[in-house]
Structure 1
Amino acid sequence: MAGREEAAGTGGGDELTLLGVWPSPFVIRARAALILKGLSYRYVEDDLTSKSDLLLASNPVHRKVPVLLHGSRPVCESRLILEYLDEAFPACGPRLLAGDPYDRATARFWASYVDDKLFSTWIPVYNGRTREDRAEAARRVVGVLEEFETAFQECSGGGAFFGGDGVGLVDVVLGGFLGWLRASEAMCGVRVVDPATTPLLAAWAGRFGALDGVREVIPGVERLLEYNRMRRALRGLPRVCYLNAQTVRLASPAQRQSKIGLVTSQESVEGNLAMAGKEDLKLLGLVVSPFVVRVRMALGMKGVSYEYVEEDLLSKSELLLASNPVHKKVPVLIHNGKPVCESLVIVQYVDELFAGPSILPTDPYERATARFWAAFVDDKLVPAWIGILKAKTEDERAEKATETLAAIGQVEAGLAELSDGKAFFGGDSIGYLDVVLGSCLFWFEALRRMHGVGIIDSGRTPLLAAWAERFGESAEAKGVVPGADEAVQYAHKLAAATAAAK
């Protein structure tokens, strides 16, 4: 294997190996978590231009780093690695996720926002062709970081970190990007973490970056700039003349009119459980949204009463906009006036808060595996099949159909491995991944009727075909999962609205 190997951390006593590349913010966060937890591990530097056999065998789905090997068992995707370390080694170092379910949901929301919004917004700073392109992208990054300025004020409770007095999940996830955020100034002349615009975040960055152990794994600016220069040359991008002291300071932005809706609870676990007993729950949703369907299934599996409010996404309610000002979309679960957003976050929140059958597996490795495949469904499969629906030409539709079938083929292989010959992904009963994928099935049938695309069929995906039949007949799905007719009608409604708006 290419690269160097080193030992780091102390304690733990388990065989841990981390496959990575040093400049990756995703690898940096995994290394920081291992150090903060005080865990001994072997770090193996990979070469992404000539990926090692170990990496390809350990992460055959995405073929990327980081990968944590615990013994011979791989855990892939950086945020899943952090949660796995917290759950597999609860007695080692600080807990990255709080004990309170609402605080955990809040942390998962913002950790997801780092990857979904900050990273995608920052990438043009890294590979923009001109300084103007890079500077414009950096200004958009500043806008995203303003959200984190408000989030820090609300999540920290006056403490030094997003996690309060101690480092938590959001600190580590966002902290993985610190080196690159600092290097962005030299790339384009815009200071993205500026005490003048985001003073709380700037002070936090100084504290986090100075932590023992963390400081050593965050690369210096000059080293990152040299790596950026090399990568741009390999990709044929124009050479960058990096800036030194020159900085374009952005004027302080106008204060946003609304606060971030997802705030940190100060209640204890016992207080949350007491509130759960009141069943003061309201779900903002859309009947034909697969993301809403999975939340309704989770609530039903727990036997929890709740008020359901149907939203019109062509004319969003003030309650929705106030409850989810970051994404402005459903589902939103409002628990005693406190909103929880994003379907996967909500399902885990429901599972952790309420009594009843467990939706996620109890074993930490099995939980990490279930989270991995749930993320695959939402990151790969869902955008592909929605692309079939939104395609403007037959060629585009055929391309998205090919992507969808490739993704569902990987899920078929995942089912063979995870179910161990049992009825569901979760074993003998419906679990987390069953809920996540099962919420899409009625749209799969709608796409078959509308465009002739058979996403799951007994010839190509026999295991999934049998699973889908069992899922559709289950008590958990009946009465919650809509029919394909409703999806077809909604698709026609959206198409008509789009045509009328032109």
Structure 2
Amino acid sequence: MAVSGDEVKLLGTWASPYAIRVKIALGLKGVSYEYLEQQLRENKSELLLKSNPVYKKVPVLIHKDQPICESAIIVQYIDEVWAGVGPAILPSDPYERAIARFWAVYIDDKWFPATIKIIKVKDEKEKAEAIEQSFAGLSLLEEAYKKSFKGKPFFGGDNIGYLDIAFGSFLGWVRAIEKISDIKLIDEAKFPLLAKWAERFGSVTTVKENIRRLTRWLSIIRSHSKFVARLHIVVYSTIAFVRKLFPYNMAVSGDEVKLLGTWASPYAIRDSRGELRVSEQQLREIRVSSSSNQTLCTRSLAGVGLHPSLGSIRTCHRALLAVYIDDKWFSATIKIIKKAEAIEQSFAGLSLLEEAYKKTSKEALLRGDNIGYLDIAFGSFLGWVKAIEKISDIKLIDEAKFPLLAKWAVHFCSVATAKEHIPKTDKVVEYYSKVLKALWNA
């Protein structure tokens, strides 16, 4: 069932791999849409600024006059809204879905930033390091394909799926980087499975239509080097495995589910609940959930039931705000300990969240009557917020400035499971003073 272009609009730029993701997803579902090319460096359109006031970037999907932002969220939204049309994009199995999301985050956060550096750096040593990092990432992806997807034409199985789109949307850039730098990245000798996958992926009609000719990639990279230098990646993954298998009111034995984390990590706090047994692994940036000998690793929140279907516009807004909290607000807020100008950035973020709360949530908590996805994403940082306030002698979530957020924080912290897992302020302050301060000042 095609949908008229009047109902669906896509704001993008032709060179954006993130906009290409959305185009491929819409093509797979047979959804017709109106495409609106955007200027990003200067003269951003009023429609873009109105549709994505938080990040002010593409892609933005507008469906029935409601904007959905962030490519990963948009692709999942498309899969759910047009679930009865075309092939499923996300795997139906919760574990396979979680694995696909995990590798999509890795590609966005680790592999592509390393790969794009190959043409950004000027020093040959830095270039060699970037190539090595890109190869290391491709080795991991080759191994992942071998373990989980060997024998299948695509990561998604017999049809293109979520991980295919996440990875494949970068192939135009990969080919351009190869030509500019005179190297072969997805080399059949080194990565035979990925090389064959890339060939199959590139031959699919909707992919061919949306990954532009190599000459045009080379043209944009050479003539707009500043654009390449400022390219940034903010994509969020939502892992929907743990809560779907284990509903909120179902106790799970510690032998069945294990959580590896650190007591001070707000990301580990997000999954610490019930009978989960937490082991401290100091100063490691990892959070692992293990169930039935299957392991999930991510900094994002696991949550079905907590995170309703992305087919809801309101839920997409919450998912976007969760991305914003992780990637923008807390990154600015933690800098307050290091430099005073970060206070203004943190307040700006809290103002956005206060306004979002005012517009979308009239209930006690951000999701409604019960703690939900966005409550956990934001609330997991409250222990650190209180510690930062004490260390820096300021008030961040000030009732005078942010009355709705202040009341929400009181409600959230009064919930038994939140109260149990949010670390005590004095303990976080001590941890900062004795461990983190020396590391950050090194």
TM over 0.5: yes
Quick one: which amino acid aligns to residue 70 of structure 1?
Answer: H
Partner of 1:158: 151
Q: Which sections of structure 1, spanning at least 5 residues, go unmatched?
A: 1-9, 238-266, 315-327, 352-357, 392-396
Name the structure 2 match of 1:400.
342
Aligned residue-pair number: 424
Partner of 1:309: 278
Identity of aligned residues (%): 37
1:485 aligns with 2:433: no
Contact 2:246 2:252 in 1 (8 A): no
Q: Which of 46, 68, 73 is matched with 1:75 structurally? A: 68
Report the more deviating stretch, 72-81 or 194-203: 194-203
Distance 1:61 1:422 in 2: 23
SS at match of 2:259: strand
Q: What is the SS of the residue equivalent to 2:23?
A: helix
1:281 aligns with 2:257: yes
- 1:106 aligns with one of 95, 99, 102: 99
Could you tell me how far 1:12 is from its partner in structure 2?
4.0
Q: CA deviation at 1:13?
A: 5.5
Tell me the residue number matched to 1:11: 2
Per-residue deviation, 1:233: 7.0
CA 1:91–1:476: 2 relative to 1, 3 Å:
same
Alignment partner, residue 236 of structure 2: none
Q: 1:207 aligned to 2:149? A: no
Higher deviation after alignment, 124-133 or 445-454: 124-133
Question: Which residue of 173, 176, 179 corresponds with 1:183?
Answer: 176
Pair 1:333-2:289 in alignment: yes
Q: Deviations over 1:375-406 (max 9, x none)?
A: 111111222223234x2xxxxx1133232222
Q: Deviations over 1:298-330 (max 9, x none)?
A: x44xxxx33x1322315xxxxxxxxxxxxx633
Q: Which structure 2 segments of 5+ residues have no match? A: 231-240
Aligned match of 2:234? none
Q: Which moved more, 1:404-413 or 1:443-452?
A: 404-413
Residue of structure 2 in register with 1:413 after alignment:
355
Match of 2:315 among 348, 367, 383: 367
Worse-superposed segment, 285-294 or 215-224: 285-294
Tell me the amino acid that sits aligned with residue 217 of structure 2: L
State the SS of the aligned residue for 2:421. coil
Give the aligned partner of residue 171 of structure 1.
164
- 2:376 paired with 1:435: yes
Q: CA offsets, 1:151-204, max 9 Å, x none?
A: 212231421111122211110011110000011112212211111211111111
Match of 1:69, SS state, is strand
What is the aligned partner in structure 1 of residue 215 from structure 2?
A: 222
For the residues of structure 2 that align with 1:134 and 1:278, how far apart are their CA atoms? 48
Decide which moves more: 209-218 or 358-367.
Answer: 358-367
Aligned residues of 1:285 and 1:332 also touching (Cα < 8 A) = yes
Q: Which residue of 2 aligns with 1:25?
A: 17
Aligned ranges 1:371-382 → 2 under 5 Å: 371-382=319-330
| Structure-2 separation of matches of 1:366 and 1:487 | 34
1:48-59 aligned at under 5 Å gives the runs 48=40, 49-59=42-52
Query: In 2, distance between residues paired with 1:438 and 1:273?
Result: 21
> Matched residues in 2 for 1:135 and 1:189: separation?
12
In 2, Cα distance between equivalents of 1:138 and 1:343: 26
CA distance in 2, matches of 1:424, 1:407: 19
TM-score, normalisation: structure 2: 0.89
Separation in structure 1 between the aligned mates of residue 180 and residue 347 of structure 2, nearest angstrom: 40
Inter-partner Cα distance in structure 1 for 2:436 and 2:408: 32
Choose from 290, 297, 301 the match for 2:266: 290
The residue correspondences of 1:235-314 to structure 2 (distance < 5 A) are 279=253, 280-296=256-272, 299-300=273-274, 305-306=275-276, 308-314=277-283
Cα deviation, residue 145, structure 1: 1.5
Q: CA offset at residue 331 of structure 1?
A: 2.0
Preserved contact between residue 260 and residue 281 of structure 2 (Cα < 8 Å): no
* Cα separation, partners in 2 of 1:103 and 1:418, compared to 1, 3 Å: same
Q: Look up the SS of the partner of 2:9 in the other structure.
A: strand
Q: Which residue number corresponds to residue 364 of structure 2? A: 423
Query: Alignment partner of 1:491: what SS?
Result: helix
Match of 1:232 among 225, 233, 236: 225
Find the partner of 1:459 among 388, 400, 424.
400
TM-align CA RMSD: 2.7
Distance change in 2, residues 1:220/1:309 (3 Å): same
Q: Cα distance, 1:373 vs. partner?
A: 0.9
Runs of 4+ in 1 over 6 A off after TM superposition: 233-237
SS of the residue 1:460 aligns to: coil
Could you give the per-residue CA deviations for residues 54-92 of structure 1, whole angstroms, max 9, x where no partner exists? 111100111100000001000001000001011111111
Q: TM (normalized to structure 1)?
A: 0.79
Distance 1:236 1:311, change over 3 A: closer
